[in-house]
Structure 1
Amino acid sequence: SKPSLGSKKQNKPIREIARTLGVAKTTVWNILKKKERTGELSNTKRPGRPWKTTVVDDRRILSLVKKTPFTTVGQIKNTLQEVGVCVSKSTIKRRLHQSEYRGFTTRCKPLVSLKNRKARLEFAKQHLTKPSQFWNMILWTDETKINLYQSDGKRRLWIRKGTAHDPKHTTSSVKHGGGGVMAWACMAANGTGSLVFIDDVTADKSSRMNSEVFRAILSAHIQPNAAEL
């Protein structure tokens, strides 16, 4: 803007000033008119409430969620208070949203060793081109833990869109933990099969799954379900 004023004092036309500065003619015109009207070129103060955080505060908020995505807004607020910054939880949320961070529930992935991950990937590659007739002959079985009162390992975290499956942003599920009911089920291409609760199989009526219980379930349910499905 200063070069434009200097150029105008030299009686240069607006078109030439705009071409020299690489801006539109209307930009130069508006700057000159503002100078004539107000006597200054600085931006006028914007209306509304003043920003409650500084640039340093905003960076500190982002640094906290980058370092620990599972941190809560309440924890961020307490951390800021320790350094003398008092802001509300809603202000912290706004700063995170303005930086494209959103609160998500963690993706829960099975706790699988690296060795078994490689084996599963190799199995998937070998069966990638199998025809549908092959898969129609498969009986799928699995067991899962059903929690009665609360989530098993799911947590909230702050992340940017598209990063939900980053290993840092997931939690691991444990198949045979306590605190719920274990169930076994099977299915095929044309429907679902039996649903078995583990405590109906174990001698002590517990939900603990082990190799002996697993073999007992397979012996009792695989053939009948395979014949029916």
Structure 2
Amino acid sequence: MGPKLGVKAVSKAINCAKSTVPYWLNRWKESKDLSDSKRTGRPRGTTEKIDQRISDLATNDNIATTRDIQRVLKRQHVDISQETIRRRLKEHGGKFSPPISKPLLTEKHR
């Protein structure tokens, strides 16, 4: 099984506080698991189904702006911000760029 070291020796060997060693030993004895626990945090504002709907609207329905997507979703009683829509599109591999603020050149300009 190897040499038995005291708390002080272990903490010095791995460069941590003495109180950390018994904490992890007890955790190992109780659960035989040292992986990270699930962390708390703010829940997502959208479900996977809504995320997929946003992605579908942007690609299949050729809706150009996040404002248009927001309007379509609002008609379906889904109230989320344009910023959330941008984040979901980015998660699905899309990229956001602000709309062109001035009109494109026409044949008349040539």
For Structure 1 versus Structure 2, the TM-score category normalised by the shorter chain is 0.5 to 0.7
Kept in 1, the 8 Å contact 2:86–2:96? The answer is no
Question: Kindly tell me: are residues 151 and 56 of structure 1, through their superposed partners in 2, closer, same or farther at Cα, counting changes over 3 Å?
Answer: same
**1:86 paired to 2:38:** no
Greater radius of gyration (CA): 1
Question: Kindly tell me: are residues 35 and 85 of structure 1, through their superposed partners in 2, closer, same or farther at Cα, counting changes over 3 Å?
Answer: farther
Distance 1:34 1:60 in 2: 46
TM-score for the superposition, normalised by structure 2: 0.56
Question: What SS class does the counterpart of residue 101 from structure 1 fall into?
Answer: coil
Q: Which residue of 1 aligns with 2:103?
A: 151
Question: Kindly tell me: are residues 86 and 103 of structure 1, through their superposed partners in 2, closer, same or farther at Cα, counting changes over 3 Å?
Answer: same
Kept in 2, the 8 Å contact 1:64–1:71? The answer is no
**1:65 paired to 2:58:** yes
TM-score for the superposition, normalised by structure 1: 0.29
Q: Which residue of 2 aligns with 1:51?
A: 44
What amino acid does structure 1 have at the position aligned with 2:71?
N
Higher helix share goes to which structure?
2
Structure 2 unaligned spans of 5+: 1-27
Per the TM alignment, residue 35 of structure 1 is displaced from its structure 2 partner at its CA by: 6.2
Per the TM alignment, residue 63 of structure 1 is displaced from its structure 2 partner at its CA by: 0.3
* Alignment: residue pair count: 80
Q: Which residue of 1 aligns with 2:31?
A: 36
Moved over 4 A (4+): none
Identity %: 28
Question: What SS class does the counterpart of residue 79 from structure 2 fall into?
Answer: coil
Q: Which residue of 2 aligns with 1:97?
A: 90
What amino acid does structure 2 have at the position aligned with 1:78?
R
